[in-house]
Each structure stands twice: as structure tokens, then as C-alpha cells.
Amino acid sequence: MAYLSTPNTHYRIFLKAFHKFGRLSTAVDTVLNGPEISRLHALVEWDGHYWFLRDLSKNGVWVNGQPITPNKLHPLSKGDHISFSHQHNTTFIAENIDPPRDLLVPYIKEDARSVDDVEPILLENYHFLPSEESPETIVFYDTAERSWMCETLNDSNPFKLSDGELLEFSHRQWQLLKGAANEEQETIAITDNPHNELCYIFNISPDEELTELTVSNRSRSFNCEARSHHYLTALLARYKGEDLKNQVPESQQGWRSVEQLTKDIGLSETHVNIQIHRARKQLSDLLQSEGMVPPLLIERKRGRVRLAVKDYQVIKGNNLEVDSRQLM
């Protein structure tokens, strides 16, 4: 979460992996005003290990009171004082030089007279915002779309988030800053291990009060333990298995309306939405911690949902109800 700060204020400039400074607002990430500032004045770049500063201007860039060589990479160190020309009245301090991150930062209007000290949200892969206990908005990274997605509990249609896009929750606006993403580097660095060999095994107690999930491949198993949201996912597996038995085409297998799901599971639509996201989040967190590409698990489309994975079993007590591999 690298950033530059200005003395005596809370204002921080969070750095992107390729961060442009200058006077031309349509072409830079941070606008610097003043006749001495070039349209594209300087770049701060992350090379995967270190931060560097490059002077592209006519009037120079100073670090710790000394001009740097134009158009040459100058390494940045923590605590460096940066001035974009001798005449510019603001000095920036390299207060944090950690690797770049994707963030949600509190949105500050240009004419704001003060800056509060609300911390940014470092984006990992799946977020209930403002909290998992009282979610208003869900933000998650879709590895297939290679994009951050957003979904509100009032509108279950996810949409892609663009760099700089505004979201509102907790009675304030937040702005997406895609700091880590550039043309060469993906936002989330995870190994491209295939996940299509994973099998999802749902164990439902005879009274259907308890559901456990185990995710396994040829080499190991991941115990997701008992969670209330596993019953919802197991129900989706039952739907899909039923369609598979009836030879419904794969593209149509398992789709059920949210209305039917709410009736079958006995929860409100809001609680169904929360459980869907909790199921996705648990699996995403688990597999990503193992360096694996997490699947979507549950798909949504125009008021309908279905289990997204292909290999699954549903076991109730000692009875194997569904085994997708045998059915296929």
C-alpha cells in the first residue's frame, strides 16, 4: 500500500504500479497545478521489487533537495522528499514504499477543506462491506473476468468495477484504486492451477440439520467444516443432479429461481443472498490460500442461481444421493 504524503496534512497519494504526475488531467493519475509543471511531469514505477522515480519534465524533479537525472530511473527510499520542480510549493514524502495494492479509498471531493483519517480498505479477493455481520455491498475478484465485481444485497446482479469507480456504503463514498494492475501484472497473483479436478462432497445429516463440505482432488482434501451456507449449496447440487439424471443440456442444468430457493430453504431473499456470498467467500479464501484459482462455485443470472462446478456428490447419512461423475 505505497503512498506519498504531504507534510502537516492527512492527505495521501496511493501509488499505482505505473503512476503518472503532471498538469494534463486526462492523462495523469495525480494532477499537479502550476505553470512550472509539465503536462506529463514524472512517473513513479514499480518493477516488481522496488519503486523508481523518472523525471520527464522540462523543469526537473528534486529528491531530498537534489535534482535527479532526467529520463533515468531513480530509486525511491522510504522518507524521501520529492519536489516536482524548484518552484512548486508542495513537497511529497515517500511515507510508505510497500508493493502496490488494489484499494477502496474514502472519496474526497476536490473542494474539500479537510481530510479525515479513515483508512483505506485493502482488497484481497472477497469482501462483505462494511462488515460480514451487517453487509450492504459485496466486492469480489472474478478470476474468469479478471475484474473486481460488485453486488448489493438489494440488487443481485453483479457488475464490473472500473478504476476510479465510486461505491457507497457506511454513509460515505469510496473509490476503487487499481494500484496493482497494469498490462503486465494481474491484480491478484495466484498460480494458474486448474480447479476442474476438484470434487465437492456434501455430507448432510439424516435430519438435514447439519451439512459439511469437503473439497478434494487426487492429492489432498480440504475440510470446509459445517456451515449453514453448505446446506444451500448442497440444495443447488441436488437441483443440478436432478437435471443431470433427466439429461437436461449442461447449459440449462441446475438453474432455479431465487424465489424457489427461498421457499425450499425457508429463508428470505436477503438471507439467501448473504449465504450465497458466504459460500463463495469461504471457498475462495480457502483455495487462494493454497495458491489455487478459486472457482465461482455459484452462478447467478437474471434472478436465477445454480451450482457452477461440475464434479460433486451429495451424501445424506449413509446414502449417496448424487454423484455427478457417475451420472456423466
Per-residue H/E/C for 275-328: HHHHHHHHHHHHHHHCCCCCCCCEEEECCEEEECCCCEEEEECCEEEEEHHHHC
Q: How many domains does the chain have?
A: 3
Task: Give the model confidence (pLDDT) of 207-237 as tens digits.
Answer: 999 999 999 988 889 999 889 999 999 999 9
Which of 70, 96, 122 delimits the end of a domain? 96
CA 147, CA 109: separation in Å to the nearest integer?
26
Is residue 194, in this structure, part of any structural domain at all?
Answer: no
DSSP conformational letter for 232:
H
Instruction: Tell me: do 122 and 213 sit in the same domain.
Output: no
CA of residue 246 relative to chain centroid, distance: 37
Instruction: Tell me: do 203 and 304 sit in the same domain.
Output: yes
- Using pLDDT thresholds of 50, 70 and 90, give the confidence band for residue 158: confident
Task: Give the model confidence (pLDDT) of 95-145 as tens digits.
Answer: 999 999 999 998 876 554 445 578 899 998 899 999 988 898 999 988 778
Cα-based distances in Å from 233 to 167, 254, 266, 299, 317: 29, 11, 14, 11, 17
Which of 39, 67, 96 delimits the end of a domain? 96
For residue 247, the enclosing domain spans 199-327
User: Which residue would you say has higher pLDDT here, 246 or 187?
Assistant: 246
* Residue 307 reports pLDDT greater than 70: yes
Which of 67, 96, 125 delimits the end of a domain? 96
* Residue 248 pLDDT: 93
Is residue 185, in this structure, part of any structural domain at all?
Answer: no
Instruction: Tell me: do 68 and 87 sit in the same domain.
Output: yes
Cα-based distances in Å from 217 to 8, 41, 201, 214, 233: 55, 52, 11, 10, 19
Instruction: Tell me: do 223 and 161 sit in the same domain.
Output: no
Strand order in the sheet with 166-169: 121-122, 102-106, 172-178, 166-169
pTM: 0.79
Helical H segments across the chain, by residue range = 228-245, 258-265, 269-289, 324-327
CA 41, CA 19: separation in Å to the nearest integer?
11
